[in-house]
Amino acid sequence: MSSRVIVALDFAGAKEALAFVERLDPASCKLKVGFELYVAAGPALVETLVGRGFEVFLDLKFHDIPNTVASVCHVAAGLGVWMMNVHASGGMAMMRAAREAIEQAEQQPLLIGVTVLTSMDQQDLAGLGIERSPAEQALFLAGLAREAGLDGVVCSAQEAAAMRTRFGTEFLLVTPGIRPATAEVGDQKRVMTPSDAIRAGASHLVIGRPITRSGQPQAVLDTINAELRDLT
């Protein structure tokens, strides 16, 4: 079974990212390219990573009018990425447009929705005129994403159990905020270990600093993969 671990490549440029990636076996993880690295290194880096055999999650959280999001999803699919995402709060028409654009692409990445940013609390939502709790809003937006035909959502591991119960076994739940029991928590407030997150229903784990800041990233990955091997 391919690894459920997605390493967050939070590096400032291509040079640093590629030097790090050389130390990883593409069979043991997937890679996440987010805003910082993408703005610094662009599509060429994404294509290089894909060319080296890595499955790449392009984490650019598209959010715009349906026509624009459909166009960018089509272009991004052409990079050969494994997964990409849009904000579910962009609405049903936007998500459906993204889905259709990907279906017409030659290579079809998985498409997932961002629900509620974990930096937002009840007060932040109330400030936007949203009366639901962050957890309720995340479930609501995940429901819209599913209805729009998306493959899953990004959510906190704390929300994974409720999402799994409501949306069944096929829906992808990609969870950040993961810390192996021995790792430093850093600035993440609510963390879960890899095996607890998978038990709670996560399908994929986004893990950054415990791997990227380790002197032995492949060894950390091997330990996490071994921990997850026997879990369904």
Residue 8's contacts (CB-CB under 8 Å, 6 or more residues apart) are 32, 34, 176, 206, 207, 208, 209, 212
Q: Which residues contact 183 (CB under 8 A, 6 or more apart)?
A: 209, 210
Minimum CB–partner distance for residue 10 and ligand C5P (Å): 5
Cβ proximity of 42 and 19 under 8 Å: no
CB of 219 to ligand C5P, least distance (A): 17
Residues 6+ apart with CB under 8 A from 116: 125, 134, 137, 138, 141
152 sits near ligand C5P (criterion: CB under 6 A): no
Binding mask 7-36 for ligand C5P (x = CB under 6 A): -x-x-----------------------x--
Q: Is 209 in the site for ligand C5P (CB under 6 A)?
A: yes
| Region of residue 109 (phi > 0: left; psi between -120 and 50: alpha; otherwise: beta) | beta
Question: Contacts with ligand C5P: how many residues (CB under 6 A)?
Answer: 14
For ligand C5P, the closer CB: 66 or 134? 134
Q: Among this protein's residues, is 61 annotated catalytic?
A: yes
Exactly one of 15, 32, 61, 189 is catalytic; which is it? 61
- Work out whether 208 is an interface residue with ligand C5P (CB under 6 A): yes
Q: Which of 121, 138, 6, 105 is nearest to 59 (CA)?
A: 6
Query: Which parts of 42-101 interact with ligand C5P (CB under 6 A)?
Result: none
Chain residue whose CB lies nearest ligand C5P: 208
Q: Which residues, 118 to 137, sit near ligand C5P by CB under 6 A?
A: 118
Closer to ligand C5P by Cβ: residue 146 or 204: 204
Q: Are strands 152-154 and 172-175 parallel, antiparallel or unpaired?
A: parallel
Judged by CB under 6 A, the stretch of 21-29, 44-52, 81-89, 206-214 that binds ligand C5P is: 206-214
* Cβ at position 59, least distance to ligand C5P in Å: 7
Backbone angles phi, psi at 62, to 5 degrees: -65, 140
Judged by CB under 6 A, the residue of 66, 109, 113, 176 near ligand C5P is 176
Q: Please give the Cα distance from 12 to 161 (Å, whole number).
A: 34
Instruction: In whole angstroms, give the CA distance from residue 128 to residue 200.
Output: 30
Write out the residues near ligand C5P by the rule CB under 6 A. Answer: 8, 10, 34, 117-118, 154, 176-177, 186, 188, 206-209
Residues carrying an active site annotation: 61
